[in-house]
Chains A and B, each alone.
Chain A
Amino acid sequence: MADLKLRNVGKTYGGKVEVLKGIDMDISKGELIVFVGPSGCGKSTLLRMIAGLEKITAGTLEIDGMVMNDVPPSQRGIAMVFQSYALYPHMTVYDNMAFALKIAKKSKSEIDKAVRRAADILQLTDYLDRLPKALSGGQRQRVAIGRAIVRDPKVYLFDEPLSNLDAALRVATRIQIAELKEAMPESTMIYVTHDQVEAMTLADKIVVLADKGIAQMGSPLDLYERPDNEFVAQFIGSPAMNLIPGEIVKTGKMTEIDLAHEGHAVADVETQAAEKGWAVNAGVRPEDLRIAGAGDTVLVDGTVDYIEALGEVTILYFKAEHGRDPLIAKLPGIHDDLRGQTVQLTADPSKVQIFHEGKSLRTR
């Protein structure tokens, strides 16, 4: 229910170690934003700065037009769900959810109404009298979410809420969070995760954090199809995007690249005549590679070193040459006869990215 505005926000520990700098971000009411990034990129720190648990050492944070830098966490209108659930172990589920309202000196009936409503949403009504230790991991996480709902905050902050759950529960709880978001379209949610699937499925907008700043911010599919730079290109998607060094040999509406290992790539990226001869990386996702037919440009011509047959897809690993990462292709269906064979692969020009000095030429 609130707009968030971050202006040039930075974080320095002890005046020396800089972990974040120059973060600019606008989050509008009702959006679900996901922060992703490699470990140690500062995504949790940024969330904790928004929550008020870490001091903001540079820039300003505004919630609903009010500068919140020095406002204590409880008055920022936020609620946070921790990775470890952080339930109060000595209180029942009911008391856990009622705690914030009791501190705020709300009336008994008001507290009861809010707790029962949240328990109803999260199917916790039968467990209200239990202690956290008598609950399963998924139920505990639901209590943690219920505790946030009860406070009716402007902004929900989720700090890797699903990473302590097993795979099946993670999917179930993820869907529950998505439903929760639909049920409360007014609420702004910020969600930190290192799990791409969570990021892609939940987010209205993903913020990729790397190297103390924002690498790219955009809708999930935008990040997938039009990555700004090599980092985002390789971070989003699994297996990671192949980057093949080469040189621009033909410019214009369609750009042609001679690849270092004797393949040839065509991309529908517009380039200027002056850029001919630039050393670039051609980026192509494993799932965009397909077996070349007659007349297709051959992008990869190599021997399959190893295959992983997963049934629905087959992952081919090509011989690594010149100390580079091995090329990876992901073909639909079963191809377990390809090991040791020489295979020609091609890709659609619209799926090929060109990176010059780490930056995409497609999105410049």
Chain B
Amino acid sequence: MDNIAGTKSSLTWAVNISVIALALLWIMPTLGLFISSFRTADQIATSGWWKALFPSEQNLVLRADDPEGNRVERAGVYVVEGQLFEAGHSAEISAWGISSREISAYVPGETADLGDGETLTVQADGAYVWTGNADQLSGRGQRIFVTATTPPEFTTANYNRVLFSGSTTDGMANAFFNTLTVTIPATIIPIAIAAFAAYALAWMDFPGRGLLIAAIVGLLVVPLQLALIPLLKFHLGIGIGKGYLGTWMAHTGFGLPLAVYLLRNYMVGLPRDIIENAKVDGATDFQIFTRIILPLSFPALASFAIFQFLWTWNDLLVAKVFLIDATGETTVMTNQIVELLGTRGGNWEILATAAFVSIAVPLIVFFSMQRYLVRGLLAGSVK
């Protein structure tokens, strides 16, 4: 009967399972993206990312060394000896063949007869012996089809290509810095404005205050799509055109209602006595704001900063409308990924790497600030 009242509910297991399910739902795609970004295109094509830590079986097309310069004469026959796999790579061959129609005709150690006395022997570790007369061993090396089990392997080549190659089609480096250029001012400007507005709306007495608050609540539900075209026309009209300034202004405008609303609600919950005491102590409104309210509102400021940062970072629409012009110089990461989907639709390793580059910063921001996020949200609502 002790599960009827008290803090321990009999549904604890349901809560635990839901939490685990939610955590998995979030972690799985992120992890998949992360692991895929370190794999080669071949690995991605042959096995899922969850198999990345285990050896994988692949069909490879390899070539024996070209006879020119490599063949040696031994008792009247020419011989080319060598290793199919590059140095540093090891694999175990389970079957091999010499024709694309029969890629697993032979087992390792078997000798294939290529006709007229020409033979080829391939061992499990990739060592081969190719024998024949001078005519047969000339030109290019013999093609060998192998079915090999290769150990797990990770590469940073994708990151090299995406971040440091300087390529305009695959490169994310330029877009990364453009995104930062958009995001940082677009986070700081609205917070700076909203903090002042929130203090005035919370603690200063002036006519029309109630109406202003109601108007801000009303603005919360206005969709931003409504303002895109008029705003762009306005920007073009006053000569800002497409560019960072216009983007910052747009993000500021769209972010302000929520910022003012959240911060005002938080500030209004600060104890009245503290503010009155500061007034008795002789502080002006500005001093009260900077010395008392701002430090005490840090959790709320941080939580809104995280929100604004995340959603300007992930924004595509505003950037498309207000920033990205025909030259493509000012492209942001979200847009770059959209373009990669078009030009590199099949290259999952590039797409995964690009996507992970774009989510890495939000992840860092989130994990380093998440205690403020939770505290700020709670502090605003449960006072």
Contact = CB atoms under 8 A, between A and B. Distances in A.
Interface of A: 51-53, 72-75, 78-80, 82-90, 99-100, 103-104, 147, 151
A73 B283 CA distance: 10
B279 interface: yes
Given A82-B276, A84-B271, A103-B287, A151 B295 contact: no
A53 B296 contact: no
A80 B281 CA distance: 9
Nearest to A153: B280
A99 B292 CA distance: 10
Given A84-B271, A89-B296, A90-B296, A103 B281 contact: yes
Contacts of A72: 279
13 contacts: A52-B280, A53-B279, A74-B283, A75-B282, A78-B280, A79-B280, A82-B273, A84-B273, A90-B295, A90-B296, A99-B278, A100-B282, A103-B281
Interface-centre pick from B271, B273, B279 (highest chain A CB count, 10 A) = B273
A47 to B, nearest CB: 12
Contact of B282 (A53, A80, A87, A104): A104
Contacts, number: 54
B274 interface: yes
A84 B281 CA distance: 16
A146 to B, nearest CB: 13
A53 B280 contact: yes
B154 to A, nearest CB: 47
Contact of B280 (A51, A89, A104): A51
Contacts of B279: 53, 72-74
Interface in B259-292: 271, 273-274, 276-283, 287, 291-292
B277 A82 contact: yes
Contact of A103 (B271, B282, B296): B282
Interface in B43-76: none
Contacts of A84: 271, 273
Contacts of B291: 99
A192 to B, nearest CB: 14
A80 B277 contact: yes
B88 to A, nearest CB: 58
Nearest to A51: B280
5 residue pairs, one from A and one from B, having the closest CB atoms: A74-B282, A86-B273, A100-B281, A86-B277, A82-B273
Nearest to A76: B280
Nearest to A79: B280
Given A89-B296, A151-B281, 14 more contacts: A73-B279, A73-B280, A78-B280, A79-B280, A80-B276, A80-B277, A82-B276, A84-B271, A86-B271, A86-B274, A88-B292, A100-B281, A100-B282, A147-B277
B103 to A, nearest CB: 72
A89 B273 CA distance: 12
A337 to B, nearest CB: 45
Contacts of A151: 281
Contacts of A52: 280
Nearest to B294: A90
Interface in B285-326: 287, 291-292, 295-296
Interface-centre pick from A83, A84, A85, A103 (highest chain B CB count, 10 A) = A103
B81 to A, nearest CB: 78
B278 to A, nearest CB: 7
A80 B280 CA distance: 7
Nearest to A86: B273
